Structure 1
Amino acid sequence: MASILQYRKIATLEAVESFSPSIVELQPYGETLDNHEVLLVDAKSNELALNPRSWRLYQRILYTVLVTLVGAIVSWAGSITSAAAKAASEEFGVSETVESLATGLYFIGFGLGSLVAGPFSETFGRNITYTVTISLFICSVTGSALAPNIKTQLVFRFLAGFFGNTPLTCAGGSLADLWSPEERGTVVPLYAVGVFDGSVLAPIVGGWIAQGASSGVMSWRWVEWITIILSAFFLLLIVIFLPETYAPVLVQWKTHHIRVRTRDRRHRAPIEVTKEPLLKRLERAMHRPFALLIRELIIFTIALYLILVYVVFFTFLNGFPFIFGETHQWGPGLTGTAFLSILIGQHLPLFLIPVTRKWATMYTAKREASGAQEVDPSENRLWMAMVGAVALPISLFWLGWTAYPNISPWPGLAGGVLFGFACVAIYTSFYMYVIGVYAAYAASGLASTTVLRYVVAGAMVPPSIPMYAQLGNQWTLTLFGTLSIVMGTLPFVFFRYGLALRNRSPFAKQTATT
């Protein structure tokens, strides 16, 4: 696959000889031309370089793998420091609750950064957004690794989260650029599993680093150095192999080259034909996530449900030492290894993909046979969320009420497997639903859900320590389990009334086509 500069050249040269501009009477951006005549350049469906869905399969797979790996490493960075909280708190002379702010502030920064990343990717393109933000992410993690005190560490952890959110916020738009709606039914779950794997592998590795730090074998700061090494490697791969996929930017590149080749400055890309200055367009794009969050009931309620899922998951970073560590007297390494149960469960939804597709086909055929209106394809993406909504409260009650010293840890680990399954099933299903429903606004729609769930879940990380300590494992997880029963009704409601909600939305697709 071509590099950034090579691809930019290909994307323009390949199409320059066969464009058919349409003449429009519009004021061109930044210039005044005779008669205000603009030759509007647009992409043709047969232009391979300008249509990422027509790329070779191996190119699209490589792109998806790279985006998944980067998403996994920024998720890893959020979780891994929790394992070393005790060693870090001792060095900085603070309590573990205060040190847990390093994890909480990362996720809060993660959520706030999503308000910028999504709109920037829709204004400047995916590639430059990935490259710049991941570079700043690495610099911030380096600052945290070298922090001489708790204040410096917390500042840089927040900045790392702020810049590190891009692969999760923009990936929805990138995958929509590359894959058709039918293909995304397979690709998005694989992406989601890869990202969740990063979050779960981190406390496993971090637990053994923490155990090594407690015995004086190594420094706890290796939780940051490992992140830096992996991030730098993935950034290099992005620079070399990751091309641009955002269609308006590709057309803009093509138009620029046409102007150079023809020496005719009337040629303009659609995003250039506007009277608004660049800063005004950017301001409007950054406003969109807030508008979606406030005005879209679908986005708002999905955000609430995912808040619950993420609050439970992130509090497990501090909760597993109570559920398994104190209950069964396990050390940091073995307690971190307990996250393997969640890791195993996260991969199980992949086996559910063909099953849910069969259910969707059977359901549609049944409705057609009865003469009823066909269920909209967008709502068919919710089958997996409905299964996960049932599994989530079961897993939480299971984990909580098997956490006793006189009960083997294996039942609790089995509950962790079910929890991992529920998390990925719910997240993946809603992720595909937002992409399918909001299409061109997918990045902003995902940013809307991201900001709330990460800010709230991040804020819950420090209080989770006294919560588990005072309420106990059983009642803490009973509380979460009860809330998950209430919120678990949402995918069923959307499946039944989703089309009606979309028909009243100015942003969502309002037809039965995807």
Structure 2
Amino acid sequence: MQSFLQYRRFQKHVAAQYERDRVKAQALNGNETSTSASAFSSAPTLHLTQNDVNTDSRDPEKAEFSKGGDEAHLQKNESILESEPPTENAGRNPLDTVTTAHTNQSIGTAIGTTLTGIEVRKRSTKEGGEGNVFVVGYEGENDSMNPRNWSKTTRIGATINIAFIGWIVGFASSIDSAALPQASAEFGVSEVTESLATGLFLIGFGVGALFAGPVSETVGRNPVYIATLTLYMLFIMASALAPNIGSQLAFRFIAGCFASTPLTCAGGSISDLWSPMERVYAFPVFANAAFMGPVFGPVVGGFIASSPLISWRWTEWITLIISGLVLFLITFFQPETYAPILLKWKAAHLRTLTGDSRYRGAVEIISETFLHRLGRALYRPFLLTVREPIILLFALYLTVIYIILFTFLNGYTFIFTETYHFTQGLTGLSFLGIGIGLCFASLLVPIIYTRAQHDLAHIRRTGGDRLPPESRLWFAMLGAPAIPISLFWMGWTAYPSISPWSPLAASVLFGYGILCVFISCYQYIIDSYEAFSASALASVTLIRYVVAGGMVEVAIPFYERLGVQDTLTVLGCLSALLVPVPYAFYRWGRRIRMWSRYAVV
């Protein structure tokens, strides 16, 4: 609904700009309409290559393909750029026909080259033929149609909607883990087998992430959100109705595939709405929600599973109901934010107003097919993982964090139920400690924002204009040591003779650490790889979810054979090995980026 209203607003905005600038076009064309149609002069045109289109902005997620004001366009376009063959018209003097065709073409060309935000360049053969094409961009940095220039109320509302998406799909990934005893008893399988319902959902997350980029680049963010959330809900419903373990596992895997697509696109939507500096505040909102989902899943699921009044299958029904509310918000209140699609709409309105087919959004003149983009999306993440140490190490770091987090889904039963004899509902409630830690990590945002402003002011005084990607690592450097400390603390104090408040307090420190690392990893990769960030993040997402999904199956035997203390010690040592990663990249990150063929310097 919001996309439809947005499309209509674009129509009015473009019509107003067209009327405003048409007078300039007629003034430019006035002398030429009185000359012969055969006399043409060619003015130099602005040639934009595909690389220019992709790299004009320092922040590729903004996708502003052209900039400029009226003065630049008037200077650039003081003569007619192109002529088209005249058409014959019965009943009219041939000379009049030629003159009229020339006049209409000249006026159309003059309007195209006078409109602010339109860049003119030659169309290559690969792009569909020869001649000029009018590449449509925003009117300027203050264009009200640019999502980053919307009111803060609108942008905050859109960000909250995106955060809800991250929350609910994370919630769906973990809620089944709280009902393992009841579900396994009904299906007649072991708890290890039933835990595949969680593991396969996570693996589906990783697989689906590969397809998110090409789809959103073709149709925009909102169609992806609406379509994939709808399909995900259908398979969640199918999971609730599953008659046997095989169908449940199949439906959960497919639901995970569709759930990952909106989650993967959400980071891009945040970048569409907020500048790099503003994302210091905006991205933690989404990151917090994305982690809160898996935390709240066991909280709700534990009480549902232990209730004598309802079936364990209500874990799926509750997920479906909340997902429906999120889908309602997205459908009726979420605007489209993907700049290439917005500019495609603008170009379509200009073609309708002028009758000139040369108006094109940058995405429309790229000859790359959807299948080609999909093929690149499938191989490039693996290529980047092999060649880029930045991606490899940060993917490894996030994978370890997700292994720990999702093995807790089964491990908390050993830590709190068996050690302290917590009920099933109270064990689920214990996950709130991690949630409290996530909130504590958010308290760092004002401190880091102030530091970023101070550093940016210094950089501008020395002639620079942006913070280096390494500035994004401050969160991780303040939070990384907390992860192994929390695991050692929890493991070495989880004894019946020690109060359960000790491991609960340790879980708060764990939540604080994982959010700090997640924020830094994601934003560092986006800033370091810019045009390749979608492929880089797809690689990180695929690796961490597939491995974490597999480790869910290992969690129960792991805790059973090693015990709580040794299991958490092993996980703590593993996370401790990766603590130096953000510090190393903060010190040598620029040098490493200089060696890369994909990263920016």
Deviations 1:22-73 (A, max 9, x none): 33221478855xx533222222225635311000000000000000011100
Q: Does structure 1 residue 271 correspond to structure 2 residue 363?
A: yes
Report the more deviating stretch, 238-247 or 57-66. 238-247
2:210, 2:377 within 8 Å by CA — same for their partners in 1?
no
Residue matched to 1:309 = 401
Report the more deviating stretch, 44-53 or 55-64. 44-53
Q: Does structure 1 residue 4 correspond to structure 2 residue 3?
A: yes
Distance 1:41 1:362 in 2: 36
Residue matched to 2:567 = 476
Residue matched to 2:45 = none
1:399-438 matches, cutoff 5 A? 399-438=490-529
Residue matched to 1:110 = 205
Residue matched to 2:14 = 15
Instruction: Output the amino acid matched with 1:481.
Output: G
Deviations 1:89-135 (A, max 9, x none): 00000000000000000000001111111332233211111111111
Q: Which runs of 5+ in 2 are unaligned?
A: 19-114
Report the more deviating stretch, 192-201 or 302-311. 192-201
Distance 2:209 2:291 in 1: 18
Distance 2:507 2:179 in 1: 22
Deviations 1:275-331 (A, max 9, x none): 344432443345443333333221121000000000000000000000011001111
Q: Does structure 1 residue 66 correspond to structure 2 residue 157?
A: no
1:21-100 matches, cutoff 5 A? 21-27=118-124, 35-46=130-141, 48-100=143-195
Distance 1:98 1:314 in 2: 16
Distance 2:402 2:497 in 1: 30
Deviations 1:416-439 (A, max 9, x none): 110111111111121222222233
The answer to which structure, 1 or 2, has the higher relative contact order (CA under 8 A, 6+ apart) is 1
Shift of 1:358: 5.1
Distance 1:362 1:52, change over 3 A: closer
Rg larger in structure = 2
Residue matched to 2:436 = 344
Q: Which runs of 5+ in 1 are unaligned?
A: none
Shift of 1:165: 1.0
Distance 2:179 2:322 in 1: 18
Report the more deviating stretch, 409-418 or 3-12. 3-12
Distance 1:115 1:414 in 2: 37
Report the more deviating stretch, 326-335 or 269-278. 269-278
Q: Does structure 1 residue 378 correspond to structure 2 residue 377?
A: no
Report the more deviating stretch, 226-235 or 250-259. 250-259
- Structure 2 SS opposite 1:24: strand
Q: Does structure 1 residue 119 correspond to structure 2 residue 214?
A: yes
Distance 1:10 1:507, change over 3 A: farther
1:119, 1:443 within 8 Å by CA — same for their partners in 2?
no
Distance 1:359 1:478, change over 3 A: farther
Q: Does structure 1 residue 290 correspond to structure 2 residue 382?
A: yes
Distance 2:373 2:431 in 1: 44
Residue matched to 1:143 = 238
Shift of 1:234: 0.8
- Structure 2 SS opposite 1:218: coil
1:172, 1:442 within 8 Å by CA — same for their partners in 2?
no
Residue-pair matches, total: 502
1:50, 1:251 within 8 Å by CA — same for their partners in 2?
no
2:438, 2:512 within 8 Å by CA — same for their partners in 1?
yes
Distance 2:215 2:246 in 1: 30
Distance 2:366 2:489 in 1: 57
2:228, 2:262 within 8 Å by CA — same for their partners in 1?
no
2:168, 2:323 within 8 Å by CA — same for their partners in 1?
yes
Give the CA RMSD over aligned residues: 2.4
* TM-score under structure 2 length normalisation: 0.79
Distance 1:278 1:450, change over 3 A: closer
Distance 1:227 1:48 in 2: 40
Residue matched to 1:318 = 410
Percent same amino acid among aligned pairs?
A: 47
* TM-score under structure 1 length normalisation: 0.92
Deviation >6 Å, runs of 4+: 361-369
